[in-house]
Structures are given as structure tokens and as C-alpha cells.
Structure 1
Amino acid sequence: MVGLALREAAALLKAQDASPFRSLAYSRAAATIENLDEDIAAIATGGMEALDAIPNIGTGIGAAILELVSTGRWSQLDRLRGGLEPEATFRTIPGIGPKLAHLIHEHLNVDTLEALESAAYDGRLEKVPGIGARRLSIIRNALTEILSRRRAGRRYHQDQSMPPVDMLLDVDQEYRAKAEAGKLRQIAPRRFNPTGASWLPILHTERGLWHFTALYSNTARAHDLGRTNDWVIIFFSSDHQPEGQCTVVTETSGRNKGKRAVRGRENEQ
């Protein structure tokens, strides 16, 4: 299962014009896993440290393997397919039912458990309707338990390094310019796409050691507010760090009105 998922990701990245080195990294990891004497799921019980010891498996791919082994799904692969369903993922957390999972996704524009964890500690999650102090504590504890298994064997700090704001804004600019010019591959999202058409532009790009994937927000809130061609979701990772995400928007008020801003990092601009 893991090897096939990595090979599919490699093929999709290649088809979507990602860096050939990124696609090759997944292909090499898949070949390595398929030639192991021991099942990768058994090795993964040793956490990130055990996976790090395998050639061609860095932190980013290691995190993907742990997610696949522990949940049977890989959010990045779902996204590349156009079928990411974050609300289903959030419902696996105690204290989050269908209604609250929908509110979290629509209000925060987060798609992964790692991104939800960041929101749980930086003040954003508690602003979502239905999140009180007790529920916030339950969600934090559940996320810690689930994600600690993925990070076992490696020290992890909540304030993991992030790309500079200027770099994120540059990726945002590249995405919107290429999307408007029709220069990007388009995927067929499952949500709000009854005909199954390929219409959502997707960008894979690099800045130094950082890998980025950018897409317009395809949430109900973005559609309701008419911001589907404004809100840009950027996913970022490196060979030494699991994936994170942020949202870039056009500010509608305040000192940055009319300017592009990274949500949650406005004070850095």
C-alpha cells in the first residue's frame, strides 16, 4: 500500500509539472520500501527515527508513511488527486462531530491534523463557534496523542520553522499570475464540482530547500463570500520537515487593506 501510494504521488507530481527531483524522491522511496526485507508498517512502529534510518526516506516522506500506516490515508495524495476531504479527517478527533468539523474547515481553511494542531495552540481554533475551553482541551490532548505516534523518536516543537512571509507571498504571486494566464495544470476537485471537470489550478514550486503546493480555496465559505479567486492555500514542506500550510488573502480592512497577507502572520509584514 505504501509503495503504491508513493508511486502514485510521484506520477501525479510529474503530470502536474512539479520539480522532477521531487517526483524522483517519491519513486526512489517507493523502490526502497518495496525491496525491504521487513514490512514497512512494522518498521514504522519505531516512529520517525526508525524510518530515518532507511535510505531515501527523509522526514517529509517519513511523515507521509506514518500517516498512511496509522490512518490508511495520505492527505497530500488526496490533494494531488483532487479528493482531499479534511472534514472526514477532523471527525476522527474526539470532541469533533460533523457540524464542528465543517465549521473548523470553513473558518480556518486548514486541511490536515498538523495544521489543526497549530490552530489549536495559536488562538485560531478557540474562535470557531462551538469551541469552548473544555472542548479545546479535549481536542489538544487528542491531537497530541495521535500526532505524537507519527513523530515518535524525533524531537518536535510546536513552533516548527516556517518559510518567511516574503517567500510565501512570492509563491502566492507566482500562483495567481500563472493561474490567470492559464499556465497551470488543472485538477478536478470532488467538492463543489458536480460535473467532475478539471478547473482548479495547482502549482508545485520550489524556493531553496522548501517545496510548495498552491491552490485556490475551494471551501463553502470561499464560495459564499466570492473569494475563490482570492484565497490561496499554500502547503509547504522540506526534506527535513513535515508538511504545514497557510492561507494568503487580500486584506479588506486595516492598515494592509488591499494588500496580500498571510493569515496569522500579518504582524510580520
Structure 2
Amino acid sequence: MIENKAIAEKLREIADLLEQQKANPFRVNAYWSAARTIETLPEPVEERLRRDGFSALLELPGVGEGIARSISEYVMTGRMSRLESLQSGHDPVALFEQIPGIGPKSAHRIIEILHIDSLEALEMAAHSGRLKKVPGFSAKKIELVQTWLSHVLGYRKPRLEPQQQTEEPPVGLLLYIDRQYRKKAEDGELPTIAPRRFNPGGEAWLPIMHVTKQGWHFTALYSNTARAHQLDRVKDWVVVYFYDDRHHEGQHTVVTETRGADSGKRVVRGREKECGDFYSEQGETSENAD
């Protein structure tokens, strides 16, 4: 059984890394507070989780849904992917391979087609229907993935249907974060981490940015996936993770479009039409200003 002290240590490591990477102080303090809560509990967190379920974690002082998910993942799998991402950029293939029914090929397809690399993003893709776009994912297989993720992350069904979901930052804001990240990275203004993948020398070259804007907390970094390296797009593809104070969270990859009307422009994968509308509106605004 995993001891509370071990869980608290992981949460403190996240707090330390967030502080080093200049994240929002409130976010840093949230992890410190949760660590104190876990360490002083009279019973093992693992026992509480297995007996009363994921909701029991949310009843603990200072433990929000995002932190609860990290705790649950650590108890169930022995790893905390949020910590791994902050440390050195986790290996999304290995992360997805731990899910029953997903092997190396399926994991690569998920990453290349959906541009996601976290369990939370996969969970939303499974429930929104996006996972159906990946070859080899039948309804039965998706159901198995949903069941496993529900067990590990404590998923609660969205209040809205997938087509009604609006619990994401607007594309204009995502494009702004992308622009700020690339500029600060180019100017050398961001702390860097040493990714484990495709980095034999252990060099700390991957810039990471934490910022809060319009009620959303963002973490941005270049994509360090096999596909990005194969296509020489590491310094082009930017992964933006986000969550708000109501614990709506997700991620998107921003890339330079290579075809269509918006060729050459930055677009948010999975929300290309919204980006097209955004650029059209921007153009109309500029024309009207003239």
C-alpha cells in the first residue's frame, strides 16, 4: 500500500517545480496545501480511495479535482504523469501503453491523429467521440478505455453533451498563449527542462511557460513527440495545457497550417474551423478600422 507520506512528497515535488518554473503562486500553494492535508490524514489515502471512491478525495481540505486525479493515478498506477511532465516531459507512448488494449501502434496513432498526450485529454476524447477517428478503436475498445480511465482518474460525465461543450478557452486566447510562448522561448526568457525522450545528452533545452489569463491557467511547451521530430516540427508544434478554477481541463496542440485557406497561419488542432472564423473576424475588424 502506498503511504500518505509518499503521496505528499510527490505533491511537494510538483509545488517545487511549479515555483521554479514561475507558475501562478496560487497553484503552487494549492499543491503545498494538499500535501499537508494528505500527510496529516489519520488513515491511508489508498484505503479511503478504494473504499469510498474518487469523490472521497474531493472531500479532503485543499484537494481539488486536478490534484485528486493525480493522487488517484499515482495510487492506481504508481506514476504521476503531471509530475513527470513538469520534470522532463513525459513519454506519452509509455503513458498510453499502460492502458489495457493499447499497444505501441495504437498509442502512436492517438498522438499523431488527436494531438494529445495526457490521460485527461484521452479521457475527454473517449467521451466526446474523437477517439472514434483513430483506426482500430471500436465502440467496445473505447468502452474498455473509458472504464479503465474512470477507475484511475475518477471521471464524472460532463454536464453537457459533447457538441455543447464550451468549457475550453476560446481559440483567440489559445493562439495568444502560443504566440507569447514562442516569443519568450525564442528570446530565452523561459526556464528549460531536460526531456527524457530524444535527448541522449540530457540537455535542458525544452522551454516551459506557466501563465494565468482570463481565468485559465496555462502550461505551454514545444511538442517533443516522435512525429514532431520526424517532420522537423519540434519548434513549430506547441502543446498548450489548460485548466480553470472549476477544474475544467484539457490540452490542444497549436501548429502552422500547411493547407487550405489558412495555410501559413497558426491553428489549434481539433478547432480549425473556429480558427478560420477567428481570422476572418480579425480581417473584417482590420478592414473596418481602415
TM-score by length of 1: 0.90
Q: Deviations over 1:69-126 (max 9, x none)?
A: 1111111100011141221221122332223323333443321223223344556544
Structure 2: where are the runs of 5+ without partners? 1-5, 276-290
Query: Alpha carbons of 1:138 and 1:6: their partners in 2 closer, same or farther (altered >3 Å)?
Result: same
Matched with 2:148 is 146
One-letter amino acid of the structure 2 residue matched with residue 98 of structure 1: P
Q: Which structure is higher in RCO with an 8 Å CA cutoff and minimum separation 6? A: 1
Q: What number of residue pairs does the alignment pair up? A: 265
Q: 2:218 aligns with which of 212, 233, 245?
A: 212
Distance in 1 (alpha carbons) for counterparts of 2:174 and 2:89: 24
Partner of 1:187: 193
CA contact (8 A) 1:47 1:66 kept: no
As a proportion of its length, which structure holds more helix?
Answer: 2
Cα distance in 1 for partners of 2:147, 2:155 equals: 14
Aligned residue for 1:223? 229
- The structure with the largest alpha-carbon Rg is 2
Is the Cα contact below 8 Å between 2:8 and 2:39 reproduced in 1?
yes
**Other-structure match for 1:16:** 21
Alpha carbons of 1:257 and 1:83: their partners in 2 closer, same or farther (altered >3 Å)? Answer: closer
In the TM superposition, what is the alpha-carbon distance from 1:194 to its structure 2 partner? 0.6
Residue ranges of structure 1 left out of the alignment (5+ in a row): none
- Corresponding residue for 1:28? 33
Structure 2 partner of 1:64? 70
* Contact kept in structure 1, 2:169 and 2:216, CA below 8 Å: yes
Q: Residues 186 and 23 from structure 1, CA distance in 2 versus in 1: closer, same or farther, beyond 3 angstroms?
A: same
C-alpha RMSD over aligned residues? 2.1
The answer to whether 1:41 aligns with 2:46 is yes
Match of 1:178 in 2: 184
Q: Does 1:262 align with 2:268?
A: yes
Q: CA deviation at 1:140?
A: 1.0
Q: 1:74: which partner in 2?
A: 80
2-side partners of 1:32 and 1:241: how far apart? 19
